[in-house]
A and B are shown apart, each in its own frame.
Chain A
Amino acid sequence: MTAPATLPQLNQPTSERTGRGSAVGGRSRPGRVIGRILLYLGLILVGLASIIPVYWLLSSSVKPTAEIFVFPPKWIPSSLHWQNFVDAWNSAPFGRMYINSLVVTIVGAVGEICVAILSSYAFVFLRFPKKNLIFGIFLAAMMVPGTVVLLPNYMTVAQLGWVNSYAGIIVPGFGSVFAMFLLRQHMMTLPKEINEAARVDGAGHLRTLWTIVLPLSKPMVVTVMIVALVTKWNDFIWPLIVTNTDNMRVLPVGLLMLKSDEGYVNWGAVMAATCFVVIPVLIVFFFAQRHIVAGLTQGATKG
């Protein structure tokens, strides 16, 4: 696309570059000021609406019990009541659940990535008749929603004797379509000569993969890895179904275990337990948001 010479540099915000969608562009000065005020009000509103529930979680988790059950609610806790975290930790085997979540998340994500890397490499660098057809069949697996296959998968896992085990939670998630797809798209951008050069040097495919293709694909591997970690950490329905004792639960399922027939009783402890689940993800998000956004929104703007 050829940009008109009058355009400012590309790193300018888009609206300024094009005047599109701007509620204030080219109006009189007072109108422009009011427009900007409205825009900032909108921005503040969006920010608050997004963040208040998260703030409410964090602040309630340290509220003294009396302040949890007051109306109108107290925005700022009068003192920091860390006892909620102790109560939460002791109300269910959360130590064990933390370990379960970590194992399930890390092993699950690493396994998925390994499977994805091998198949994406094969699809890009190895020859095989009807390769694209096979790839298409892989992609068709993306159309299979998790909810649809719950019961048959539970039965398969039961047949394998994996109910209530790490294997039962983790192994079905090793199969990967989306991760493989993203990695393949990336590897296709690498120069084909890589392979011939490696061959001439006497390197096998595994070594080419390990020493050349993987280092060159690092950004995409990192993206796929972080998205896999977050997704598996948050997974709920499958671990819920496949486990049946408290000491095999993962953290999100553990939250449900705090609920009695009358609903949640000790809200302070429940909010503290929710923090166990949420805080690691939020920390990862604030450091790796670029990767997460790229991975999760992939495919959106490309045909």
Chain B
Amino acid sequence: MTATTPSVAADRRPPDGERVGSRRRLRRREYALFLAFIAPNVILLAVFAFWPVVYNAYLSLTSWNLLSQTKPFVWFANYVDMFTDPEFGMVVLRTIIFSGGVVIISITLGLMVALLLDQKLRARNLVRTFSFAPYIVSGAAIGTIWLYIFDPNYGLLKSILGVFGITSPAWMTDSAWALPGLIIVYVWKTTGFVAVVYLAGLQGLPTDLYEAARIDRAGPVTTFFRISLPLLSPVTFFVVVTSIIGSFQAFDVIAVMTDGGPGTATTTLSWYIYQQAFRAFDAGHAGAGAMIMFVLLVLITSAQARFTRNRVHYQ
């Protein structure tokens, strides 16, 4: 290690007369070192993050089956195909329903859980730990567990719903219920995350406004809607964006639970991309689907960047 260390040892320092030249040499050396240090990351990101986006954009303009030598260039034919195909419209709609459902429900529930965990209650740390645990468990495992819970013949959920006199649907094999079922599973997986983020947000809020509200005899509901919620808006925005990005890309739960089915009932954009690329071997349509997802997510992410930048001077 020491032998290869690019050291600027004192004994190698040239005599005073050459100070300026040596300073320049030192600086050049530092530049070289900088490049050497970031090189592994630069190469990896170039090869596996930036280049694939460019290459994907190119693929989306071709009609290629992943096997033939030539990739016929078809301009925007893939996009025209997709935008004129009602089934692709359904894919987009399903993605919006799934993602929207997950985001709205998990954020509402997560905020309620955060407010609950913000109270001085016994065992709240334990409950916080419990609620966050699903978030770090593999989606494939979660899908497997819930497939068993949803089982229409002897599933746990059938029994629980039975207590309230509700007949459990066939969930994953019923095309009307498969997508709502996936939403339930995903909400279960992510609500704890949302709650913990909100809890951190709540505990970081300035206290003086609450003092003022108390002096003004504002009730807890007013205080929440007039003070907490507006102050939490940067947190809300962060959670909304990360939830959209996460749920847009949901894949493992779908792979395990429904395989995009029954029929195409749970074929979302991410499943569509996978399906086109690795089952239908249609690089063009997979590429076009991926481009659409990329553009959507970049728009959403940059909206967040802009929003948070405008809010920085806020606290």
Contacts and interface: CB of A to CB of B under 8 A. Distances in A.
Interface stretch (A91-99, A186-194, A251-259): A251-259
B34 A122 contact: yes
Interface string A64-105: 000011111100000000000000000000000000000000
A151 B210 contact: no
A43 B131 CA distance: 10
B144 A297 contact: no
B238 A141 contact: no
Given A72-B162, A256-B256, A293 B138 contact: no
Contact of A237 (B40, B133, B252): B252
Nearest to A3: B207
B6 A43 contact: no
Contacts of A115: 40-41, 44
A250 to B, nearest CB: 10
Contacts of B30: 126-128
Contacts of B141: 57, 252, 255, 274, 277-278
Contacts of A199: 8
Contacts of A204: 5-8
Contact-residue size bin, chain B (C-beta under 8 Å from the other chain): 35 or more
Interface string A1-31: 1111001000011111111111101000000
A277 B136 CA distance: 11
Given A1-B206, A119-B37, A204-B6, A175 B277 contact: no
Interface string A148-190: 1111111110000000000000011011110010000000000
A240 B139 CA distance: 13
A300 B232 CA distance: 11
Contacts of A274: 141, 144-145
Nearest to B11: A202
Nearest to A276: B141
A289 interface: yes
B119 A15 contact: yes
A232 to B, nearest CB: 11
A115 B38 CA distance: 8
A19 B121 contact: no
A145 B248 contact: yes
A119 B38 contact: yes
A121 B30 CA distance: 12
Contact of B140 (A13, A134, A256): A256
A47 B122 CA distance: 12
Given A17-B207, A72-B162, A271-B148, A22 B249 contact: no
Contact of B6 (A175, A206, A233): A206
Interface in A272-303: 274, 277-278, 281-282, 285-286, 289, 292-293, 296-297, 299-301, 303
Nearest to A25: B220
A141 B249 contact: no
Contacts of B301: 142-143
Contacts of A155: 55
B133 A202 contact: no
B27 A127 contact: yes
B83 interface: no
Contact of B311 (A12, A16, A147, A303): A303
B20 interface: no
Contacts of A4: 207-208, 211
B188 A126 contact: no
B154 A70 contact: yes
Contacts of B24: none
A133 interface: no
B12 to A, nearest CB: 9
Interface string B56-69: 10010000000000
B211 A148 contact: no
Interface in B297-314: 297-298, 301-302, 308-309, 311-312, 314
Interface in B220-265: 220, 223-224, 227-228, 234-235, 238-239, 245, 248-249, 251-252, 255-256
Contacts of A256: 140, 255-256
B181 interface: no
Nearest to A270: B144
A210 B255 CA distance: 43
B38 A134 contact: yes
A217 to B, nearest CB: 15
Contact of A14 (B34, B202, B214): B202
A149 B25 CA distance: 41
A42 interface: yes
B251 A236 contact: yes
Nearest to A231: B136
B37 A126 contact: yes
Contacts of A118: 37-38, 40-41
A110 to B, nearest CB: 13
A40 B136 contact: no
A1 B206 CA distance: 8
Which 4 A-B residue pairings sit nearest by Cβ, starting from the closest? A175-B44, A152-B52, A204-B7, A122-B37
9 contacts: A20-B227, A21-B115, A39-B121, A115-B41, A147-B273, A149-B56, A252-B252, A271-B145, A300-B197
Interface of A: 1-4, 7, 12-23, 25, 39-40, 42-43, 46-47, 49-54, 56-57, 60, 68-73, 114-116, 118-119, 121-123, 126-129, 131, 134, 138, 141-156, 171-172, 174-177, 180, 199-200, 202-207, 210, 230, 233-234, 236-237, 240-241, 251-253, 255-256, 259, 263-264, 267, 270-271, 274, 277-278, 281-282, 285-286, 289, 292-293, 296-297, 299-301, 303
